[in-house]
Structure 1
Amino acid sequence: MKLFKKVREVCIIGIGRYGSAIADQLLKDRENNVRVVLVDGDEKHLIPYKDEVEMIYVADCAEQKTLEALNVTDFDVVIVSASNNIEIVAALAEMGVKSIIARATSPRHAQVLRQIGVTSIVSPEEEAGKRTALIVANPNLTLYSKNMVELQDGFVSASIHIKNVDMFNKKISELGFRNKYNVSVTMINRNNMTYLPEGDFEILENDLLTFIGKTEDIVDALEFCANSKNNRNTKER
């Protein structure tokens, strides 16, 4: 019997740079079973998506009657990407929306959103600041910063496509990432399929490996994955 994943209904309110980035990412992966509806007060922000998403609405969501007309309580997730979002979020919470994700522009803003009832809070500016500081403090991260995410207590998550020929057709246990670099392989993406690998998982060329570890250890592991020549020379010495 074939099992079907439930389609998740997502509404994004505010299609500026941040909102459009979310929409683009959701639309990029057509197999994620997400149906997207976009809402913005400016029609020009919505026009690029008119043939891409389930529905677009030109509306000012600061008024609760607008949200009621959109049937926002029917959505699995409502994302409020506009920065001036207090009134919108308050109305959504009052209406009983199941899951609200909102953008905060400061710690104080985040605190207010949390008190109102936001399920998840994101701070793009704060994350960008952390990423920049991370790169400045660790110059070797520049090459690998694109797919790096700061976690807690000095740990980061990073992904890289495997180019080192010394890794091809080797099992994770053979490569010894934990012992040599003090990092863990948490996920592998291959041909648009994602795996949670065990030690006997075999690495192939162009696999996308995701690691978790301390910043300096991650850099060493990524350099090994990216450059076989330098690593062979190191082994010979």
Structure 2
Amino acid sequence: MRLFKKIREICIIGLGRFGSAIAEQLLCDRDNNIRIALIDKDEKHLLPFKNEVDSIYIADSAERKALESLNIDQFDAVIVATSDNIEVVAALVEIGVKKIIARATSKRHANVLKQIGVNSIISPEEEAGKRVALIVANPSFTANSEMIAEIQDGYVTGTVVVTNPSIIDKKIRDIGFRNKHFVSVELVKRGSESFLPDGEFIIKSGDLLTFVGMTENVTKVFEFCTKK
């Protein structure tokens, strides 16, 4: 089944290292149907993106009037990438922003953000710690650590490009990802198109497959998919 994506309006507040990394990642995929707006009170943080994104604003995001003047409530999601973000988040909640994603620097900070009304919380430091633990506990994870992310309780999601000629032009059902490799194929990206595959879906060379499964199984299926 093909996924038809509508254009989504995303706003990133705070273009320090973390916010800039998010913006750069979104800009890497030109087929993601996302329009990006950036807000920072320091113009120098915005200058590197002035010709890359749809709009940039120099504003103090802790000021509700400044956010309202930008019609911040019209965005599909607002990412608050600053670490000192309580006042910013409070202003966004008061305005009625539909989805707020905010950075937390500690568990206490995360709890406060939840109480205020944040939909999703990101902790870069905690995620980095989890990744290091995965690498130490699973040696085979190291080679693919940039493409795999932990979900919970030993389960990970990962994406890999198919190059193994033995599975090209074969149905997912016949390859046996679930029965032999104990992973599920959740998404296939082919060029600019994305698909939610069933067992009859035929794999092509260069397809980008997203798997979910236990760490060991996902790393093994990565090796299987990339055999020459």
TM-score, normalised by the number of residues in structure 1: 0.87
CA contact under 8 A between 2:157 and 2:211: conserved in structure 1? yes
Aligned residues: 225
Structure number with higher helix proportion:
1
Secondary structure at the residue paired with 2:146? helix
* Residue type of the alignment partner of 1:180: K
* Residue type of the alignment partner of 2:153: D
For 1:89, the equivalent position in structure 2 comes to 89
Q: Deviations over 1:119-144 (max 9, x none)?
A: 21111221121111111100111111
Q: d(CA) in 2 for partners of 1:181 and 1:6? A: 34
Q: Deviations over 1:74-96 (max 9, x none)?
A: 32322111011011111111222
Which of the pair has the greater relative contact order for Cα pairs under 8 Å at 6+ separation? 2
Q: d(CA) in 2 for partners of 1:58 and 1:196? A: 40
For 1:25, the equivalent position in structure 2 comes to 25
Q: Deviations over 1:107-158 (max 9, x none)?
A: 1111000101112111122112111111110011111111111112211111
Q: d(CA) in 2 for partners of 1:183 and 1:70? A: 44
User: RMSD across aligned C-alpha pairs, in angstroms?
Assistant: 1.8
For 2:40, the equivalent position in structure 1 comes to 40
* Residue type of the alignment partner of 2:50: K
* Residue type of the alignment partner of 2:55: M
* Residue type of the alignment partner of 1:222: F
1:173 aligns with 2:173: yes
1:152 aligns with 2:163: no
Q: Structure 2, unaligned stretches of length 5 or more?
A: none
* Residue type of the alignment partner of 1:190: R
Q: d(CA) in 2 for partners of 1:164 and 1:31? A: 25
Q: d(CA) in 1 for partners of 2:5 and 2:167? A: 35
For 2:10, the equivalent position in structure 1 comes to 10
Alpha-carbon shift at residue 6 of structure 1 (Å) = 4.8
Q: d(CA) in 2 for partners of 1:9 and 1:177? A: 35
1:125 aligns with 2:107: no
| CA shift in 2, pair 1:207/1:61, >3 Å | same
| CA shift in 2, pair 1:45/1:213, >3 Å | same
Q: Deviations over 1:200-224 (max 9, x none)?
A: 2222222111111111111221111
Q: d(CA) in 1 for partners of 2:170 and 2:152? A: 31
Alpha-carbon shift at residue 5 of structure 1 (Å) = 6.1
Structure of larger gyration radius: 1
Secondary structure at the residue paired with 1:57? strand
* Residue type of the alignment partner of 1:11: C
Secondary structure at the residue paired with 2:52? coil
For 1:61, the equivalent position in structure 2 comes to 61
CA contact under 8 A between 2:31 and 2:192: conserved in structure 1? no
For 2:70, the equivalent position in structure 1 comes to 70
Q: Structure 1, unaligned stretches of length 5 or more?
A: 229-237
Secondary structure at the residue paired with 2:15? coil
- Aligned identity (percent) is 59
Alpha-carbon shift at residue 164 of structure 1 (Å) = 1.6
Q: d(CA) in 1 for partners of 2:97 and 2:180? A: 48
| CA shift in 2, pair 1:62/1:31, >3 Å | same
Q: Deviations over 1:177-209 (max 9, x none)?
A: 222111111111111211111112222222111
